[in-house]
Amino acid sequence: MKFSNTYSQLDGAFYQRISPEQVSRPQLLLWNDELAGWLQLTEEFCRDRALLAQYFSGNRLPDGADPIALAYAGHQFGSFNPQLGDGRAHLLGEVLSGNGQRYDIQLKGSGQTLFSRQGDGKCALGPAVREYIMSEAMFALGVPTSRCLAVVATGEPVFRETAKPGAVVTRVAASHIRVGTFEYFAARGDLGSLKTLADFTISRHFPDIAGNPELDNEEKILHLLQAVINKQISLIVSWLRVGFIHGVMNTDNTAISGETIDFGPCAMMGIYHPGTVFSSIDTRGRYAFGNQAAIGQWNMARLAEALLPLIDAVPEKAVARAEPLIRQFSRDFDLAYRQMLANKLGMATADEQSTALANGLLTQMQEQELDYTQTFARLTLSLKDAGLTQQLGQELGPWYDSWRTLLADNAITPARAKSLMAQNNPQVIPRNHHVEAILQDYEQNGGSDSINDFLTVLRSPYRLLPQTEKFQDLPADGDRHYRTFCGT
Ligand SMILES: Nc1ncnc2c1ncn2[C@@H]1O[C@H](COP(=O)(O)OP(=O)(O)OP(=O)(O)O)[C@@H](O)[C@H]1O
Ligand SMILES: [Mg+2]
C-alpha cells in the first residue's frame, strides 16, 4: 500500500494524530478485491488474509500510514453542534488509483479519539456489513459513493442495547471533507484555517478552479460553492432515481466530494411514497424520501454561510454574492430531476409532456401502493414483451397507453426507449429485508452463506442474472414495519 498523505500535512487544528485501538482477535470477513485492484494494492499485499486482518482492524499500521481523527462540526436534524469530529474513525492516509485519483483510506469503529464525547469509539458488525453491502450496491447502480475495502470482526463485544459482535469497516472515499468541516472553522472564527481548508478542497477536488487565472480569490470561493452545489444536485437526483433514502442528511454527513457517505440508517424505498421514512429517530420525517432535495439545498445554505467570510469581509456583500447560488439550487435541481424522470420513461430530454406523464405515474404508484423499482423495471421490460404490455395496460389503465402514445408521437422506437430505460431503471436494488436477513446472519453466526450471491446480484443491477429473482421479491408487509437505526 503506497500512501501519499496530504491532509495529515495540514496543521494540528484539522485533526488529532492518534493510532487506532488494538483488538484481540481480528478476523477478515469481507475483502473487496475489485476495489483493492482499483487502488493498486499489490497482489502480494492482498494475499495474506491474517495480515490484512491486522492492518484493517487497526492492530498494525501499513507502512506510510499516518493515522488521524478529523475535526468537524455539523447541523444534526437542524441543530448546530460545533464539535463532532471522528469519534470512532481513523484516517490511515491517502493512496492514488491507477488513473491518478486520490482516495482516503479510513477505519471506522477503530477506537476512541479526542472527538468521541460519550461514545465508545466502536462499531457493531451489523452496521459495518450494512455499509459494505449498501455502498457496493450504490456504486454498481452508478451513484457517487464512498466504498468499503474491508470488514474485520474484532472478536470483541460492543455494548448497544445488548452486547453485539464488534467490527472495523475500512472506508474509501475521494475525501472525508464534509460541509461540517467548513462549519467547524467558521464557528470558531478561525479564518486562517477556513481559508486553508478552502484552498485544500479546491486543489484536491476542483483543480480547474485552482488553475483558472481569470478568478480572484473571492470568485474561487464562489466557484467552489457552485461546484459543490452541482455535485449535491447530481447526487440527490441519483438517489431519487434508484429510490435511496439516506436517512441522516446532517451537514456532517454531507461530503464535499459529492459522494454518498454514512450509511447508518439508510434504506431503499419499496412502495412509492414521497413521505417514506425508515429511520427510527427521524420522527418528523425531516429526511423523508421526497424531502431530500430541500434538505440538500438547506445543507448548501449552511456551507454558504460558513464560506461567507472568505467571499467578502462585509457580511452583507458576501450574502448578496452567495445567496443567488443557493436560490438557483431549486431550479437546477428541478431541471435535473425532470430530466432523470424523462430518462426513466425512455425519453432523452424532458419537456412539459414527459414531466406531466411522470408525475401522473408517480401519483398512480402512490395511490395503488406500487413498488417504485419494480414498476419502472416492468415498464422497461414491457417494451419487448407483449404479455407484460397487456398486463401493465390493465394495471396502470389509460396511463400506460398515454405513455406508449407519447413515445410514438416523439418517434421514439420501443427499442430506443428500452435501451435508455435499461440504463436508468435498475432491475435490482438492495431490498431492505434481504439486507437485514444477511446482517442477522452475521450477528448471530458470524457470517452468511448468501452474501456472495447477494453481492453478485447487486453488482449487476441493470441485468437479470439467474440468482436475481431470489433477492428481488417484495417484502410481505411492504416494509410498513421496517425501521433503521443510526448504528452508533
Ligand atoms: N460509538 C461511537 N463512539 C464515538 N463517537 C461516535 C460513535 N458513534 C458515532 N460517533 C460520533 O457521533 C457523530 C455522529 O455520528 P454519525 O452516526 O453521523 O457518524 P458515523 O456513522 O460514526 O460516521 P461517518 O459519518 O464517518 O460515517 C460523529 O462525530 C461520530 O464520530
Ligand atoms: Mg456521520
Tens-digit pLDDT profile for residues 307-362: 999 999 999 999 999 999 999 999 999 999 999 999 999 999 999 999 999 999 99
Q: How far is the CA of 200 from the centre of ligand 1 (A)?
A: 24
Q: DSSP assignment of 128-150, as one string?
A: HHHHHHHHHHHHHHT--B-EEEE
Contacts of 208 (CB under 8 A, 6+ apart): none
Taking residues 114-134, what's their average pLDDT? 97
In this prediction, residue 488 carries a pLDDT of 57
* 121 labelled binding-site residue: yes
Instruction: Clarify whether residues 82 and 164 are in a common domain.
Output: yes
User: Running DSSP on this structure, what letter comes out for residue 474?
Assistant: P
Write the single-letter amino acid at 288.
A
Question: Is a pLDDT exceeding 90 seen at residue 200?
Answer: yes
| Under 8 Å between Cβ of 108 and 88 | yes
- Do residues 169 and 312 share a domain? no
Q: Count up the domains in the chain and report the number.
A: 2
Residue with cell 419499496: 270
Does any domain span residue 33? yes
Residue 388 falls within a domain, yes or no?
no
Residue 219 lies inside a defined structural domain of this protein? yes
Q: What is the pLDDT of residues 367-388, one digit of tens each?
A: 999 999 999 999 999 999 999 9
Q: 424, 423, 434, 436: which is closest to 473 by C-alpha?
A: 434
| 3 state SS of 437 | helix
In a domain, 425, yes or no: no
Q: Residue 218: inside a domain, yes or no?
A: yes
State whether 184 and 330 are in the same domain.
Answer: yes
Q: Which of 298, 317, 341 is the last residue of a domain?
A: 341
Would the pTM count as exceeding 0.95? Answer: yes
Domain boundary among 176, 210, 226: 176
Same structural domain for residues 90 and 223?
no
Q: What is the ipTM of this complex?
A: 0.99
User: Which residue puts its alpha carbon closest to atom 13 of ligand 1?
Assistant: 84
User: What residues flank ligand 1, with Cβ below 6 Å?
Assistant: 84-89, 115-116, 119-122, 252-253, 261-262, 264, 486, 488
Residue where a domain stops, chosen among 290, 324, 341: 341
- Per the residue annotation, which of 252, 282, 371, 479 is the catalytic one? 252
3-state SS assignment for residue 256: coil
Residues forming a β-bridge with 168:
152
- The verdict on 144 and 39 lying in the same domain is yes
Task: Specify whether 160 is located in the same domain as 251.
Answer: no
Instruction: Return the pLDDT at 94.
Output: 98
Q: Which domain holds residue 104?
A: 7-176
- Tell me whether residue 299 is annotated as binding: no
Judge if 337 and 308 occupy the same domain.
Answer: yes
All 3 cell numbers of residue 419? 435501451
Task: Clarify whether residues 164 and 205 are in a common domain.
Answer: no
Residues 229 and 64: their CA atoms lie apart, in Å, by: 34
pLDDT score at 297: 98
Same domain for 103 and 224? no
**Is pLDDT above 90 for 239?**
yes
Both 190 and 152 in a single domain? no
Mean pLDDT of the chain: 97
Same-domain status, 337 and 216:
yes
DSSP run (H or E) holding 74: strand 74-76
Q: Whose CA is nearest to atom 31 of ligand 1?
A: 87
Residue 428 falls inside a structural domain: no
For residue 281, the 8-state DSSP code is T
Element (H, E) at 440: helix 432-445
Q: Please write the tens of the pLDDT for every residue from 16-62.
A: 999 999 999 999 999 999 999 999 999 999 999 999 999 999 999 99
Q: Is residue 81 one of the residues assigned to a domain? A: yes
Position 176 confidence tier, pLDDT thresholds 50, 70, 90 = very high
Q: Taken in order 392, 395, 397, 399, is the CA torsion positive or negative?
A: negative
Q: Is-contact 424 380, C-beta < 8 A? A: no
Q: Are residues 205 and 159 in the same domain?
A: no
394 found inside a domain: no
Residues, Cβ < 5 Å to ion ligand 2: 253, 262
The residues near 43 (Cβ < 8 Å, ≥ 6 apart) are: none
pLDDT at 486: 83
User: Is 252 among the residues known to form the active site?
Assistant: yes
Q: Which helix (H) or strand (E) holds 356?
A: helix 352-368
> φ, ψ for residue 362 (rounded to 5)?
-60, -45
Single-letter amino acid code for the residue at 27:
Q
Q: pLDDT grade, residue 220 (50/70/90)?
A: very high
188 annotated among ligand-binding-site residues: no
Other Cβ atoms closer than 10 A to 406: 18
